[in-house]
Every structure is written in structure tokens, then in C-alpha cells.
Chains A and B, each alone.
Chain A
């Protein structure tokens, strides 16, 4: 009833091809943005630091992997390592140039990740599918080895940990222990909005179309004049860029220093792959759903269940969280194999006709 497009006429091609063609969607997005801005003022520190900030960090990583796997059809198991490259790059950059604003370095560190991504993306020209997954696994192992063994990366710290120094923006600490969760959240939110907007424009434009052409049939794409070398490597670069920025954000805006090598291990790569698969391949909103499902749900269950009076704690909470999340993964994949994004689409479709379906 509320969600109806009748009466909304498109008078230009631009309007017809808009990302959000329906007015209600635009209002919805505006409301969500507003809500996201209000969150830091109403939520507790715990919610911000342990649910909202990790969620936003994972959204970036999931968008990155979605570009590669969802839009270009190249499976990667190296996302965790590419995130690590971003984190270490950012750490080195801010060590050498402490006066440059950390936000700039977070954005720049993605380029280092992109460069590494291109190198490890080269095999994708020859190999496909599961074989490519194995090749990117090599990237994961090799880079993880570098994170532990090249002590220059963590400034020769004896414990191998990254120590995040205090960096400020307009006099306000944004990294380090003094940074308020609200501030870190808002900065992260700004980064996520900016990068999602860029990603949305890229995937809806010429580049995104060439990626999808490669995904759907690479020989046909080549025949119509899309160069696989350039396109695939670009997908690797952009994907790794997002992963790298996500890694830098993870280290500097969420974690605030500590043992880094362990953070970017193979489990991390799998986690992000699951986010993409459960959220929905080839969909940006799927990245948001997937990140919320895989990253935030366990935390909310673990700490939320005792809070609403279900008395489970300690190891039992952990076991039950595992069980529940596992069950939900199976449930959602049976209900809708194309991920949560597809469920959302179906819901919207139904809503358009509600309450008078044909």
C-alpha cells in the first residue's frame, strides 16, 4: 500500500536507469542514513564498539569480495590476507609520515593491497573456478607468512603486535585508546557510505557490465571486445582495494592495535566469503546483509540472550551461538539459495502488490 510506484512516471532514461527508481526506496535510504547517524547518540558504547563498528568494517570487506566473486565470478580465498596488507601498509605509512591524517592513509593503504591483489590475480587469466580458489589460497598463506616473519612490517616489535598510535582529526583523537567509539563509528560510517557509493557507480556502469559479462561467459565477453586481462585484473585491484581499506579500518578504527597476523588468517577469508554467499552474490545490499548476519549476529546472540533473561553464559553461550548461527545459515540457504539480498528483493516485489496480489 505504502510501497507503490504507480503514478511515478519516468520522463528520462536517466530516471529510468537510476539505482533507486522508486521514490519509496529513496525515502527508505534517507531514513536508514538518518538512523545510522542517530545510532551513536542512542546506543551504548558496547553496542558501538562490538556490534556497529565491526559490522561496518566487514561491510567494506564483503563489498570488496562481492566485486570479485559476485560480479566477476572469480572465487578468492585471500581476502583476509589482502585486508592484512591494508592494515600493515597503513601502519607503516603512519609510522613514516605521522603528520598526514590517518584517514588519508587508510584510504591510500588500499592501493598497496590493490597492487598485491593484481599480482596474485594474474593466474586468474589462465585458471578458473575452484582452481583459482586454490591459487588465491597461496596468496593467503604467503602473505600470512610475511606478516609473521617480516618483522619490518610491525616495526620489529618483539611481540609481533601492531601498536596503534594516537592520531587526531581536528584535535579529536580518532585512533588509539582515547578515541571515542562514537567518533570511530562516524568516521567509519562516512568511509562506508563513500565507498559504497563509488562501488555502486562502478558496478552499474561500463566497468561493472564488463565484469558481469566476464562472469556470465568469458569467451562471449572476449568476442564482443572486452579484454579479459584488463577486466579481471581491474576486478582484483578494486576488490583488494576495498579489502585493504577494510583491513586498515579494522586495525585502526576497531581493534586499536594488538596481534595482527592472527587476525588476517584463513578463517577471516572464509568468513568474508560466507558473508558474500549468504548475503547474496552480485549485490551490494547483500554485502550489508551478509556482514550483519555473520559478524553481528553471533555477538548479539552471545551477549543479547543473557541480557533479555535467557540465562546462558560462558562456554554454553558460545556453543549455542555456534549452533544457532549454523542453523540459520542452513535455513536461509534452503529458503533462498541466492542469499538474503534475493529474499529482500522478493519481499519488495510482494510489497508492491500488497494487499491485492493477482
Chain B
């Protein structure tokens, strides 16, 4: 009866527990990372998983890990399914993962309350709950270098510049948001609604359910009717190339459609062929393989056949984006090792490491990435940093930088964010008060 199944499961679980203690014996740091190389989101999921995975493999190959401890990088397949992501979280916890990388806003939302109890930091780089940038209420969640709310504000600044000036130029304009009808896509809505009132533009929402991702005809019919002046595309997976294709088909001016950073994959833009020229996206780091660090990845990992990446895809936008994440994570681990004086750090150490992380321009050069991204600073108060981003443009075959850095207006975003964080805390009755001390910066 069911007991047999339970017994088998219990035996397996016991084995798993046994395996995890054996693994801890060596000097290694285990990190579980969710990935989705299967399912409708794999188009975005594969480059994203490759970038950070290759970077970690490169560190193991080149330097023997970080600070003498090898990185045991484990991918846990979720198919972008929140239920499976929760399973992966539990598995990571059981295996002593020092970090949780959800790779989905829905999964981040599900994990945030648990992480505060289990003391496992969450690194949701430029995704997840924007309000979690409030380090006072969310000591265990990090979303550097900027949040979706900042992204939306950067988009508005760019649109206003193109309209010829400050944000007041947006008055009376129609701004559309094409978004995945999931927590990820809905994340920028509150800030856009707020700013629509403030600056007097009209916000038009075009939700696209996950099952309709490749069938956006009806939405684009509405877009043709409404004629929005600008469109922000908050899409993921198969939704992005479809949206770019539809925009081309419907003669929507490409340079007025801006994808949030996750909608800025090379394959996303490539889908639109020649018509996609001019499609824009937001980024905070350079693309291309002309960085020593990327060359190291090619040399130590890709060319040795230790990666799932095709060589031609190294250096693409999404790939580099998670190399960026790999770099800041590795720096945080180094910082944690320094703070704790231990080689094999724990989740709590890594939290401290992330919280007092600084990467200066000189450090970026030392890391083999000169000019790759702007300096980064995370503080106890501000777990995101609201760093600058810039616009990149698809020139028909690759992404090129198309604007100066745009700094999100912290004075606008931050108060709203703190309000949202407060709201979250009040809705989750029994939310723990922050007791974690704040480390002095090294």
C-alpha cells in the first residue's frame, strides 16, 4: 500500500542525507541553481544557465575554486514551474546549498518567506520582488544591480529623452506594457501606474498568459487600435521573439519598443530578422566576448568541451548577463570568506558577504572585465543599489550600446519601494524583525 512507497522514499531520503554529509567533507561550497533547459521558457533559460554555470566552472578550472574552496555548482531543473522550483529549494536546503537562485519571480516570491526562516540568502539579480531591495525588512534577499521598478523608470527616462526632454514630455502620451501574465510580468505595474498619474501619461496594459505566449495576434490587434507611443516589453522565454516578430509584422516602430533586460536576448531580437533592427533593450553591462574573463571561459571551459554552450553563443547578451551575476557572486563569496575567516562558508556568511559587497572600477579590471559594468555597491539598507543602466539597440546582427548610462531616479522609486515592502510585511503576519547585525565594510 502507500506505506511501501513511503518506505522506499524514506530510504531514498536517508541516502540523500548521507550523500550530503559526505560532500561536506571536502573543501567545497555547494550552490543550487534553478534552471530551465526544458519547456517554453528554455529559449531564455538556456543562455542564462550557461553563463553563470560556465563562469563557475571556469573558476574551478582556472583558480581551483574560490579562495581554495571548489564550487559545487548544481543545476536543478524546474521548467519555470513554481512547484518544481519549491522542490528544488527544499533539495538545495537539504544538500546544504549556501544560496538560492530562483531564476523566476514566481519562485522568488514563494521562497522569500522560507529563506528568512531557513537562513538561506536569495540572489535574484535584477528580478524578483522589487520591494525586497529594502534590506531592513528583507535581510536575506538581494536584487542588485537594479530592480524592475528602476528598469521601468529608466525606460520612461529614455522615452522622455527621445520625446525631447524631461519626464513632463510624456504628458498625454500612451505607454504600453506588454507583460507576461505572471508575477514577473506584473512586477513593474505599480510603479508605472504611480508614475502615469504623476507625469500624466496613459498606461495601457497588454497581459499575455503563459499559454498564449506564441499566439499574441489578438494583443497586437489591440495595440494597432490603441497606437501606444512607447512599449515596454516585459517578456520571457518564447514570448519575446514572438513579440518582436509581431511588432515587425504590425509595423510598430521598432525603436519605440524597449524590452526590459530579460527581453534583450540575442535570439529574441534575431527572430524579427531584418525588421527587428532598432529594437531596444535595457542593460547594465557590455555584450561581446572581448573581455579577458570571457576569453578565460572560452579557454578553460568551452573549448575543453566542459560546457553546454555553443562557442558562437558566448558573449551574447543573456550569457554575459549571468556571467555578470557569476562575477558578483564570486566576489560576494570572497568577501564572505574574508569576513568569516572560513574557506567553506555558510549561508549566513554569504549573506554578510553580499551585504557588504563593493566592486570598484579597478576591481572590475582585476577580475578580467575592464569596463564591463559600472561599479557596484550593496549596503545593509539597500540590497539593490538602484545602479545605472543604459539602452542597447539591435543592429540586425548584434546588440550595440545606444545611450549614456541612465540613473534611475531613486527619489521616486525608493519611497514607493519602502511602502511596498511595508505592505508586504503587514500582509505576511508574523514577519520576522531584522536581527542580523550590519557588517562594517572592508
Contact = CB atoms under 8 A, between A and B. Distances in A.
Interface of A: 28, 31-32, 35-36, 39, 42-47, 49-52, 55, 98, 148, 155, 157-161, 163-166, 173, 176-178, 255-259, 262-263, 265, 285, 288-289, 292, 296, 299-300, 302-304, 307-308, 313-315, 317-319, 344
A161 B8 contact: no
Nearest to A98: B429
B12 A304 contact: yes
Sort chain B's interface into a size bin. 35 or more
B5 A296 contact: yes
A259 B13 contact: no
A55 B10 CA distance: 14
Contacts of B181: 148
28 contacts: A32-B1, A36-B3, A39-B10, A44-B16, A44-B94, A49-B90, A50-B90, A50-B91, A55-B2, A98-B429, A155-B427, A159-B105, A161-B106, A161-B110, A165-B428, A166-B428, A166-B430, A256-B114, A257-B428, A262-B182, A263-B83, A292-B5, A296-B9, A302-B77, A303-B91, A304-B16, A315-B38, A315-B77
Interface of B: 1-3, 5-10, 12-17, 19, 35, 37-38, 74-77, 79, 82-83, 86-87, 90-91, 93-94, 105-107, 109-110, 113-114, 116-117, 129, 181-183, 186-187, 189-190, 207, 209-211, 420, 424, 427-430
Given A314-B37, A319-B38, A259 B183 contact: yes
A283 B17 CA distance: 36
B378 to A, nearest CB: 23
Nearest to A39: B6
Contacts of B187: 158-159
B436 to A, nearest CB: 16
B192 to A, nearest CB: 11
A161 B183 contact: yes
Contacts of B3: 31-32, 35-36
A160 B189 CA distance: 11
Contacts of A315: 35, 37-38, 75, 77
Contacts of A303: 12, 16, 87, 91
A105 to B, nearest CB: 14
A256 B428 contact: no
Nearest to A322: B38
B149 to A, nearest CB: 10
A161 B189 CA distance: 14
Nearest to B18: A307
A323 to B, nearest CB: 12
Contacts of A262: 82, 106, 182, 210
B428 A163 contact: yes
A322 to B, nearest CB: 8
A161 B79 contact: no
Contacts of A45: 90, 93-94
B93 A163 contact: no
A314 B1 contact: no
A121 to B, nearest CB: 26
Contacts of A304: 9, 12, 15-16
A307 B427 contact: no
B186 A46 contact: no
B93 A46 contact: yes
A315 B189 CA distance: 33
Pairs A-B, 4 closest by C-beta atoms: A166-B430, A258-B110, A47-B13, A177-B113
Contact of B113 (A35, A42, A158, A256): A256
Contacts of A42: 10
B183 A46 contact: no
A318 B94 contact: no
**Which residue, A42, A98, A258, A289, has most C-beta atoms of chain B within 10 A?**
A258
B430 A288 contact: no
B83 A44 contact: no
**Which residue, A47, A49, A308, has most C-beta atoms of chain B within 10 A?**
A47
**Which residue, A157, A159, A300, has most C-beta atoms of chain B within 10 A?**
A159
A318 B79 contact: yes
Contacts of B10: 39, 42-43, 47
A173 B3 CA distance: 28
A160 B186 contact: yes
A307 B114 contact: no
B6 A52 contact: yes
Contacts of A308: 12, 15
A298 B368 CA distance: 42
A158 B186 CA distance: 7
B76 A259 contact: no
A55 B189 CA distance: 36
A8 to B, nearest CB: 20
B425 to A, nearest CB: 10
A299 B5 CA distance: 12
Contacts of A258: 82, 86, 106-107, 109-110
Contact of B209 (A28, A32, A55, A148): A148
A159 B186 contact: yes
Contacts of A43: 9-10, 13
A176 B113 contact: yes
Contact of B76 (A166, A307, A314): A314
Nearest to A289: B2
Nearest to A44: B13
A31 B79 CA distance: 38
Given A165-B430, A307-B15, 18 more contacts: A36-B6, A44-B14, A47-B9, A50-B91, A155-B427, A158-B187, A159-B183, A165-B427, A173-B430, A176-B428, A255-B110, A262-B82, A307-B19, A308-B12, A314-B37, A314-B75, A318-B79, A344-B1
A262 B182 CA distance: 8
A177 B117 contact: yes
Contacts of A49: 90
B210 A307 contact: no
B117 A285 contact: no
A147 to B, nearest CB: 11
A288 B94 contact: no
Nearest to B113: A177
A165 B37 CA distance: 33
Given A165-B428, A317-B77, A288 B1 contact: yes
B116 to A, nearest CB: 6
A16 B19 CA distance: 51
**Which residue, B2, B17, B77, B187, has most C-beta atoms of chain A within 10 A?**
B2
